[in-house]
C-alpha cells in the first residue's frame, strides 16, 4: 500500500544506519559522492589508490560530524578488495551500498605500441575491478534484501571516441555488467543501476585547456558547460535512497543533455 505520510517520505530520502563503500573516493566524483552519502547519514568507507586524497576525503567528512573510514585499495586486486571489505565490516558494519567509481583512462589507438598495456589496465580497473567489489560485498548486499549497487560508466559506454578503444570498450562493458546484475540480483532485493557521466570537471578532464572545454560545451552540451562532481554525486545518491527501491537496471546519463542533441 502506498504511504503518503510526510515523515515516512522524508525518511526514505535519508541513509541513516546504512554503510556505503565508495571506490575512487580520493578525488572528483568519488570524493563528492562520499561526502553527499555521509551528509545523508551513511557511514562511508572511502577507497582509493591515492592515500593522501582518500585521507583528505575522510577528514572532510569527519570535520562535519560524519563517519568515514579510509583505505588504500586497488580494486583490480581481489585479495585486497576482500581484505578491505572485512575491515569495513569490523569498523562500520555490513555493506549496504556499493558505489563502483574507480576508473582509469589510458588513451592508446588500436595500432599504438601502448595499446596492450592500455587494454589490460583499463579492463582490470574499469570492469574487472567492479566485479571484484560486487563479489566481495554480495553477501552483505543481499543480507537485508535491499542492497544498492551503482556502477559508474561514461557516455563513452554509449558511443565512441577515436583513439580510446580500451576505455570505450570497458565502459560499454560496465553498462552490460550492470544490466546483468540487475537481472541476477533483483530476486535478492538488490538493485543495480549505472550512471554515465558526460563532460565533468575532474582530474581526468583537467589536462584539457579551459578554452577548449568552453568551445566543446557550447557546441555539444545544451546546458553549455561542463558538469561539477557534486552534480554527479547528487544523481548517484538518488539511486541508493530507500525511496528508489523500484529503480533497477537503469542507465542514467548525467551529461547536460549532450547525447540527446542532434547536432
pLDDT in tens, 68-108: 999 999 999 999 999 999 999 999 999 999 999 999 999 99
Q: Which of 202, 183, 206, 212 is nearest to 254 (CA)?
A: 202
Q: Which of 88, 67, 21 is nearest to 48 (CA)?
A: 21
Distances (CA, A) of 217 to 167, 199, 260, 261: 21, 8, 14, 12
Q: What is the pLDDT of residue 207?
A: 87
Q: Give dist(CA 255, CA 263) in Å, integer.
A: 15
All structural domains of the chain: 12-255 (3.40.50.720)
Q: Which of 187-196, 203-212, 214-223 has the highest mean pLDDT?
A: 187-196
Catalytic site positions: 167
Question: In the predicted model, is pLDDT for residue 205 greater than 90?
Answer: no
Q: What is the pLDDT of residue 92?
A: 99
Range 194-202 average pLDDT = 95
Provide the pLDDT confidence category of residue 202 given band limits of 50, 70 and 90. confident
Q: What is the pLDDT of residue 261?
A: 84
Mean pLDDT of the chain: 97
Range 205-230 average pLDDT = 93
Q: What is the pLDDT of residue 263?
A: 62
Range 198-210 average pLDDT = 89
Range 231-251 average pLDDT = 98
Tell me the three cell numbers of residue 199. 563532460
pLDDT in tens, 23-51: 999 999 999 999 999 999 999 999 999 99
CB atoms within 10 A of CB 157: 25
Burial 16-44, CB ≥16 within 10 A → b, else e: eebbbbbbbbbbbbbbbbbbbbbbbebbb
Which phi and psi (to 5°) does residue 31 adopt?
Answer: -65, -50
Amino acid at each position: 500500500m502506498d504511504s503518503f505520510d510526510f515523515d515516512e517520505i522524508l525518511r526514505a530520502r535519508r541513509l541513516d544506519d546504512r554503510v556505503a563503500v565508495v571506490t575512487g573516493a580520493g578525488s572528483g566524483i568519488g570524493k563528492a559522492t562520499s561526502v553527499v552519502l555521509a551528509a545523508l547519514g551513511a557511514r562511508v568507507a572511502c577507497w582509493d589508490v591515492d592515500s593522501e586524497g582518500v585521507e583528505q576525503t575522510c577528514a572532510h567528512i569527519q570535520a562535519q560530524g560524519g563517519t568515514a573510514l579510509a583505505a588504500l585499495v586497488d580494486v583490480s586486486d581481489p585479495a585486497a578488495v576482500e581484505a578491505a571489505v572485512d575491515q569495513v565490516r569490523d569498523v562500520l558494519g555490513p555493506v549496504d551500498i556499493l558505489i563502483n567509481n574507480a576508473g582509469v583512462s589510458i588513451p592508446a589507438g588500436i595500432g599504438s605500441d601502448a595499446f596492450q598495456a592500455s587494454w589490460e589496465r583499463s579492463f582490470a580497473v574499469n570492469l574487472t575491478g567492479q566485479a571484484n567489489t560486487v563479489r566481495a560485498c554480495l553477501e552483505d548486499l543481499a543480507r537485508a534484501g535491499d542492497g544498492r549497487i551503482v556502477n559508474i560508466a561514461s557516455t563513452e559506454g554509449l558511443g565512441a571516441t577515436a583513439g580510446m578503444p580500451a576505455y570505450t570498450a570497458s565502459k560499454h562493458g560496465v553498462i552490460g555488467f550492470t544490466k546483468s546484475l540487475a537481472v541476477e540480483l533483483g530476486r535478492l532485493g538488490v538493485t543495480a543501476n549505472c550512471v554515465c557521466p558526460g563532460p565533468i570537471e575532474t582530474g581526468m578532464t583537467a589536462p584539457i585547456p579551459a578554452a577548449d572545454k568552453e568551445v566543446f560545451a557550447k557546441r555539444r552540451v545544451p546546458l553549455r558547460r561542463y558538469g561539477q562532481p557534486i552534480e554527479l554525486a547528487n544523481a548517484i545518491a538518488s539511486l541508493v535512497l530507500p525511496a528508489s527501491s523500484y529503480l533497477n537496471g537503469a542507465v542514467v546519463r548525467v551529461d547536460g543533455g549532450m547525447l540527446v542533441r542532434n547536432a
